[in-house]
Amino acid sequence: MQLRNLGKSGLRVSAVGLGCNNFGNKIGLEESRAVIHAAFDNGITLFDTADTYGNKGGSETIMGQILGDRRKDIVLASKFCAVMDEAKEWKGASRRYVMHAVEASLKRLKTDWLDLYQLHRPDPLTPIEETLRALDDLVRQGKVRYIGCSNLPAWQVVEAQWTSRSLGLESFVSCQDEYSLLVRGIERDLMPAMQSYGLGLLPYFPLASGLLTGKYRRGETPAAGTRFAHMTQLVERYLTEKNFARVEALEAFVRKHNRNLLELAFSWLAGRPAVASVIAGATTPAQVEQNVRAAGWTLGAEELAEIDAITA
């Protein structure tokens, strides 16, 4: 497994990371244990979770029960800001909430520190300076080693970096955003901003919520048990005529090279500028192994140009 620096920071992460959103949601303790140990065995060092994953705390709780002494061997990342209660009051990026959220995450994870603590989404009610001052305090206290953000538009990332630099505060070292062969919108504004500030990219949904697995077909109803079958809000976004045409063209491309869509999706992302680690969830050890193996294809300039003609 290749290790890469996360942006311009000294934090080293595996080129493929494990997304832990399935723990406590799709799979329970023992299935999660098998997935985590498969990640260890395949060289994955970045484990990415959030306080909301696994029905509000379930993912972190399960990880806390499993990691044990292996905690010190991994880069453990979590997030804060999203709603954590039914009344929708426990949320946000205020100093009050950040200090509460980090203690709750540390307790669930049974650890004294987080390697990467990420603002999960924008909080329009809290000035970014307040959030950054709180995160700076956590770094100084040793509870957090590095900080990052997720799902922020380019202008807010720039504002955050400028604020940190001008006030002498800890700066974000990474952005975690949706990015795949079928979802390339961040290339317009966010990626140039990230490259300018030396931020690392942690792309999630590398398979476009499963569309890049090839198991969905034009005109066919999604099979029972698949993501699109039970998350109907995703259907209009992903299962479009344009996307089906792209997938069919990409399938022809990989056949020509004796590869498969999974290999193309992971290897293309792993070779993109600023990408440090491709975040991929898994529900079985076999999926972990497939994801790791899939990132080994080095695409040449002509191949990349052909892919751009299909997807850009």
Residues assigned a catalytic role = 53
Is residue 207 packed enough to be buried (19+ CB in 10 Å), middle (13-18) or exposed (0-12)?
A: buried
Is residue 156 packed enough to be buried (19+ CB in 10 Å), middle (13-18) or exposed (0-12)?
A: middle
Helix/strand/coil for 117: strand
- Asked if 132 and 98 touch (Cβ cutoff 8 Å), the reply is no
DSSP-H helix ranges across 142-284: 154-167, 190-197, 227-230, 235-238, 241-256, 261-270
Quote the CA–CA distance of 300 and 236 in Å, as a whole number.
33
Burial 159-177 (b: 16+ CB within 10 A, else e): ebbebbeeeebbbbbbbbb
DSSP-H helix ranges across 110-182: 128-141, 154-167
Quote the CA–CA distance of 47 and 115 in Å, as a whole number.
10
- Asked if 6 and 194 touch (Cβ cutoff 8 Å), the reply is no
What single letter denotes the amino acid at residue 122? P
| Residue count of the chain | 312
Quote the CA–CA distance of 284 and 275 in Å, as a whole number.
25
Radius of gyration of the chain (CA): 19
Quote the CA–CA distance of 260 and 301 in Å, as a whole number.
19
